Structure 1
């Protein structure tokens, strides 16, 4: 299968190349039909270059240098991305060697051989000579570039097992082609100035050096504005679009205009024979200098104009890596011109492999933000500090001004676990508003973080989100856990929501009107006292959108009272006292208002115990803690149709892949209700319900889950979106009819009901930020995205949902990944084997000690019985006890020494296995490097040797044998 994928990828890029060559062939055919002299010059130079073995030597050097630059740097395998970032960095330097090697002989060789006069006497004008020479050099460069592309692409296709972004690689090489055409035109100026090949090579490199090194202007210029202007005039910035897979009109226009100006200068140089030496020679010289200067000024103005108005931008990447979501573009269009936005992004020079994709996506998106803003005439200033040192002035600026400091993370690289510091953050400013993202965690969508931050500082006014104060204590505080008070830290989800909303706690000591909050979050509302609970129901009736998380059996937070359990009274002194259970609101009143049917049974004190949901589906077999009460909601469960487990009828879950609910309840819509119910999360066909008391017995170890599962109730909803006109609740309590409460008449109900609080455990935010924190598996849980989508849907700000769902696809080095996976599996298997051997040896040693001590223990017991009967004196018993204790201590010391020695042996064996695994990965990387660099050089070298041999044979054909001797 992998071989077929590689073949298909190669055929695809060859199809791209065929279309490109057909276009070039059409241009050459047009030239041959209209400019015969130019075509003749082009054909002569092109054939002459490849008829000489020297041309193949330069081709071999070019392919060698591009392969070394692309695959030899450590950063290529460290980033684990199938891109040409390393080659992009070194390509200008390679071109400073290769392009002068092509252009140095364009005119200097003609002068050296005296054939320049012959060319100038042809029935052709100066344009024919210059364009013929230029197109011959361009054809030579194109052939060389195609050879490099095929060799590089083949290597990447093998490394990715065919899952390569063909559009990205093709567009990058198209950018190389435009760079080459521009540098060839400039190099031709050097060749027209001299008749010496060496001088022509040196001048060609010098003339092209300013464009190649313009990107380094900030390192030598004290003026930031001047440095930015110089950087924009070089080839790095217009090529950057091509290197990211984007074809932009501004970049194409830049290369065409610069090449056109250089070619005009060549025509001036070749045409100077017409006016030098005449009486007006000096005046004509200044006249043409003025023309060239005017063209340069025109080019600069045109480049700046098109750069600020980039008419066409096409993302050619297959994974849409360099594209913005439609919602993001809409946000930029809606920005206020009077509130300019400044983005300061800071990225350290060393970014570990786990964060390589995040860094790549962050840089791409920031540049696209800048381009889209310029296209829409919106003011977004992007200051990208990329590749900074941890102790540089830029790093100090990030820390002092924006609070973005180096973050320490543990990584395994080059065979060892090491702590590394990295900077990967950004600050967003607009007026007095400021938002800082200290670090872009690699598991969090980058575009979402950017868009949310920009929208927050741009709008100025945030929507208000009310967190209902329940036993869950999302805002932090003191709770009763067991017989003691426990302090709960603020839930990390609150920090996540605070980046977008104005979040505050609501204690429900007074009525809540619809104009106070845009949405409410109520986690375990059944724990509220009856008055506060009635006010929550009234707020829902009044039309305040509300997210409800009600759990029949909370797992992650033991201090949260279950739906059917009595609420514990506050503890007294030293955790004692209390006075009995506290009153709770009747959750069934809320269910009636929302027209929900929750399966369950009546409980003590007039409460209700919802049944729990089970499901036989676990996509993580190595997750030993999971059982049938862990509900993995995804479409991988057998018999689940697309858009069924995670509903595609609602924006909240449309596009999500997997959500995990733990010990969740079921929730159905009542028949013939007035409200519209949309099941958001549903189990698969192998699922059902189990009563709460049985679950308690299972959790306490009294019975097994497999024994208690009876019958199948497929597709049980555990989350529901509810919309529609409100109705007067049939279960209104006297408190709800108090004159201070809002009327029970609803302004329209909009609620998301989730029968689980564990779905928003803090651990899911950690998993979201670091999906690879457990080496055995890569979690795909999108619980946090589900929760954020829920709040956005309730507040009506659904644009962020679309941004979260826009996930670019990156091509990774699957061959290296599979090697790493095999190595990791071997390490895991051998480590478990060593641990099993260790445990078995310790168990056997402990049993041996117990056996040896058993006889002595029996003697001690017998002496105790005899001593109690008066048959044995106390001194004899004490002597035997002392001997027993001494022997026991000696045995335990011996066991401790043996345990320590075996632990060292076990750890050493594990280290050896890991070292061997790392060596295997390094070996395959080194093998790829060697083959990728060496193999592409062989074909041009063989062709060069064959051309040299044929040339020598032709030279010897007309020489007599006597002279050959």
Structure 2
């Protein structure tokens, strides 16, 4: 699928009638809250329509069930209708509804973690929801049968022409209907808050699925709470028993803290509602979770039928035996339920990710990898996550937890074994943290973050260890800029496979593997390039010195950075290897800037004559031979000593205005550049660049396919129309339009025979007459893999004023994966789930940051001006004395002034100058402290403004949803009072 075909996850398809209707309702309320009113309201309208559509389908299914009940079980429907109307005709019902909405709003939006994560999810409500249900569900169920007993209407119900099932199911469905109405009101309240915070770009699929999970939790807990109501006639006792009976399911997730046995604790934890609900809370509808809640509700309803039917046999002679008979039945049903749950838990018949951003989905390549895992090599993943995770890493944490659970489910679905031990919310000095450090080497990592107007250092744990047999891979920390799924898949693939593909790094002057180089008149130590460490996680990486011919098949791919720096014989061997079919990535830079010791393409290579120099230029390979083999056309001019100097590419496009160091030779290959069509700057025609958005090249060259080329060329990186080339030794520029910086080349070039090295081994493959398929990628810039890009990839927010989107590292890894034929990792890197963030808060933060930058520049300007004035004043203070000394020096030459007087004046001048310098330094230090304090105050004020808005949102989210049910409750109460007083005389009312 190309970028043109790929749907925009944030796009909302207009529905004119409904959109206009919703906008007309929401405009008066939401218009003041948004900066971009039209777009925001349109997004809110479409999100509300999407959510209401899902709710309508769900309610339609429920209405069909109720209609079937009304036709087939009229008595049950009558019981349901009576209880439902009775609940909402009583003010108490609205009080409980108000309490329910209040508690859910507090749990969802009041915790600090909600705004810290900056994600429009209901994670905090998911955590507290079981506790809320322990209050709300018993409030619904306590009166289901206990109230009938208290009022004496139970006998009337039992004499109806209906069986026990009709009464139980009618009571149950009335309670379920009450709970459903409460959930719908809570859902709309939650939606309104999230819609405002996200400016309408929230994930309605996640919200609907989460509330669907709440509904299933309620169905199970209502059935259990009904058991308590059937056991007693006291409402208070019914409430307490209902909470106690449901408590084991709600608190089963805490079994680890009370059970000494890990196996028992795991079994108890999995038997609670936390694990089956977890799928719903992540936006996934799974058959195993639905079956769990249905079976629990069915068992509880059967117990209710036993309790209501005990009147038939408790007074008889076989009462005790019948009691044991029904106990045995109930236990058998419980065992059946447990077995069914265990069976379906590992075999999901249906498992669908309903989120719009597909945040709980695995890439197709990931699913293929899991299916191909060896049954005899189970994989164990131990993931450790600290309790406090800064905002920058919140999305990474959320994605890591989601994907680990999906890996486990997908493996179980395909009969594979991936055991996930998730240690979430651990303290930095806990036993789990010690286990992570001692056993796996995962230790707390210190990062710098800005919080409440100041930069502070924080420690976090966010790593994982992967084991399979004797193989082990550890990811010390999942950096927030690196795709989590890619790290997981690569680590699993590494421990699951017994062997890796072999990657050869050609030893050029770039020294990717590290070493020493001659830089000027001294030797310079070069550290190993960080890209090598990245590649070593996936490949067996070796250095290739080209001391002899390269036999095809020895290496799965070669990487040659600045091959023009090779000696002629080595260069010929590299060319021969490419001709013989060895896949090769070539990075040839006309003007390198990242490594000053690397010779440019058109420059002569200085001889390494030691610390005293000596000798002329060292011979270099002729890069034009390689261009002929690859059928490439590189614009440029002949240079000195028979060399060729490629032209440089320039472009007028900079998506980062605050990046002041950038100029027209910084080439932002950007899909959003002006005049660039989708899939043009980063080609959709190649898996290497399909899905990428932005790559930065610096002082790169142009490379085109020859007009009569027989090889297949695919332009990978192309500039926009406002670009061209210029000679590398001049500053003139020539408008040439769109230029290309990288080419993918494959095929057979029959016009160029395989020319083996001069001293080639006769036994090596290939001969003068043979031809082979060429597979190569040529990139006219080696700065595209600067070490800084790996740092930016891991930490895109390291510069606070801008968030870089460079995908240079992904591009380089895609090139090598394509050459080795392992394109599954390319698909995984391109699979990016879309998370709904709190855009309203983001915009406030951006405005605050913009204000901080503006005021900081003002303070800096004021500081510079004050220092300049102080310097001028200081100079004026000593100027008169300096002029006097100059006059005395002239008089001394004529002999009219004694040397002692001149020395005295010079000493006085030096003392005064030193005093003025000290005064200036003190004043400078004072002004600098004042400047820093002012900047700190502005940052603090900006943070306080953000915090104030967050508090306003919290208050509104908690208070406003409670008002409608209170108003309705007051109206119902007033209406009842009026009806009660209708037929009473005024004299009796006094």
What TM-score, normalized by structure 1, do the two folds share? 0.97
2:865 corresponds in structure 1 to: 840
1:653 corresponds in structure 2 to: 689
2:922 corresponds in structure 1 to: 897
Supply the distance in 2 between the matched residues of 1:652 and 1:867 (Cα, whole angstroms). Answer: 81
Q: Does residue 878 of structure 2 align to residue 850 of structure 1?
A: no
- Give the secondary structure class of the aligned counterpart of 1:767: helix
Contact 1:541-1:727 at 8 Å conserved across structures: no
Supply the distance in 1 between the matched residues of 2:872 and 2:467 (Cα, whole angstroms). Answer: 68
Contact 2:576-2:757 at 8 Å conserved across structures: no
Contact 1:511-1:742 at 8 Å conserved across structures: no
2:140 pairs with one of 88, 93, 102: 102
Mapping of 1:108-123 within 5 angstroms? 108-123=146-161
Mapping of 1:303-382 within 5 angstroms? 303-382=341-420
1:14 corresponds in structure 2 to: 52
Q: Does residue 758 of structure 2 align to residue 735 of structure 1?
A: yes
Mapping of 1:370-409 within 5 angstroms? 370-409=408-447
Contact 1:592-1:730 at 8 Å conserved across structures: no
Q: 1:180: Cα distance to partner?
A: 0.3
Supply the distance in 2 between the matched residues of 1:819 and 1:81 (Cα, whole angstroms). Answer: 15
2:629 pairs with one of 593, 601, 606: 593
Supply the distance in 2 between the matched residues of 1:496 and 1:917 (Cα, whole angstroms). Answer: 39
Q: 1:534: Cα distance to partner?
A: 1.4
Greater CA deviation, 817-826 or 335-344?
A: 335-344
- Give the secondary structure class of the aligned counterpart of 2:558: strand
1:789 corresponds in structure 2 to: 814
2:22 corresponds in structure 1 to: none
2:735 corresponds in structure 1 to: 712
1:955 pairs with one of 959, 975, 980: 980
2:829 corresponds in structure 1 to: 804
Q: 1:952: Cα distance to partner?
A: 1.2
- Give the secondary structure class of the aligned counterpart of 1:808: coil
Q: Does residue 705 of structure 2 align to residue 680 of structure 1?
A: no
The one-character-per-residue Cα deviations of 1:286-305 (angstroms, maximum 9, x if unpaired) are 11111111110111111111
Contact 2:576-2:756 at 8 Å conserved across structures: no
The one-character-per-residue Cα deviations of 1:340-389 (angstroms, maximum 9, x if unpaired) are 11111111111110000000001001100111111111111111111111
Contact 1:534-1:736 at 8 Å conserved across structures: no
2:951 corresponds in structure 1 to: 926
Q: 1:670: Cα distance to partner?
A: 1.3
Structure 1: tracts of 5 or more residues without a match: 696-707
What TM-score, normalized by structure 2, do the two folds share? 0.94
Q: 1:590: Cα distance to partner?
A: 1.2
1:473 pairs with one of 511, 526, 534: 511
- Give the secondary structure class of the aligned counterpart of 1:485: strand
2:320 pairs with one of 271, 282, 297: 282
The one-character-per-residue Cα deviations of 1:850-898 (angstroms, maximum 9, x if unpaired) are 3443443344344434434545443333233222222211111111111
- Give the secondary structure class of the aligned counterpart of 1:957: coil
Q: Does residue 747 of structure 2 align to residue 724 of structure 1?
A: yes
Contact 2:549-2:756 at 8 Å conserved across structures: no
Supply the distance in 2 between the matched residues of 1:98 and 1:258 (Cα, whole angstroms). Answer: 19
Supply the distance in 2 between the matched residues of 1:772 and 1:268 (Cα, whole angstroms). Answer: 63
2:17 corresponds in structure 1 to: none
Q: Does residue 238 of structure 2 align to residue 197 of structure 1?
A: no
Supply the distance in 2 between the matched residues of 1:53 and 1:322 (Cα, whole angstroms). Answer: 42
2:680 pairs with one of 641, 644, 650: 644
- Give the secondary structure class of the aligned counterpart of 2:84: helix
Mapping of 1:138-537 within 5 angstroms? 138-537=176-575
Supply the distance in 2 between the matched residues of 1:686 and 1:760 (Cα, whole angstroms). Answer: 25
Supply the distance in 1 between the matched residues of 2:756 and 2:501 (Cα, whole angstroms). Answer: 32
Q: 1:283: Cα distance to partner?
A: 1.0
Q: 1:190: Cα distance to partner?
A: 0.5
Q: 1:63: Cα distance to partner?
A: 0.5
Supply the distance in 1 between the matched residues of 2:531 and 2:940 (Cα, whole angstroms). Answer: 40
Change (3 A) 1:593 1:192: same
The one-character-per-residue Cα deviations of 1:807-828 (angstroms, maximum 9, x if unpaired) are 0000000111111011100001
2:663 pairs with one of 617, 627, 639: 627
| Root-mean-square deviation (Å) | 1.5
Structure 2: tracts of 5 or more residues without a match: 1-37
Greater CA deviation, 594-603 or 256-265?
A: 594-603
The one-character-per-residue Cα deviations of 1:909-929 (angstroms, maximum 9, x if unpaired) are 111111110110000000000
The one-character-per-residue Cα deviations of 1:109-128 (angstroms, maximum 9, x if unpaired) are 10111100000000000000
Contact 1:589-1:732 at 8 Å conserved across structures: no
1:73 corresponds in structure 2 to: 111
The one-character-per-residue Cα deviations of 1:728-778 (angstroms, maximum 9, x if unpaired) are 748969726675765354421111111101100011011111111111111
Q: Does residue 47 of structure 2 align to residue 28 of structure 1?
A: no
Contact 1:467-1:521 at 8 Å conserved across structures: yes
2:941 corresponds in structure 1 to: 916
The one-character-per-residue Cα deviations of 1:85-133 (angstroms, maximum 9, x if unpaired) are 0000000000000000100000001011110000000000000000000
1:606 corresponds in structure 2 to: 642
The one-character-per-residue Cα deviations of 1:215-261 (angstroms, maximum 9, x if unpaired) are 11111111111111111111000000000000000000110111011
Supply the distance in 2 between the matched residues of 1:417 and 1:469 (Cα, whole angstroms). Answer: 42
Supply the distance in 2 between the matched residues of 1:203 and 1:730 (Cα, whole angstroms). Answer: 88
- Give the secondary structure class of the aligned counterpart of 1:694: coil
Q: 1:673: Cα distance to partner?
A: 1.9
Contact 1:538-1:736 at 8 Å conserved across structures: no
Supply the distance in 2 between the matched residues of 1:754 and 1:509 (Cα, whole angstroms). Answer: 25
Mapping of 1:766-777 within 5 angstroms? 766-777=791-802
Greater CA deviation, 337-346 or 320-329?
A: 337-346
Supply the distance in 2 between the matched residues of 1:161 and 1:637 (Cα, whole angstroms). Answer: 26
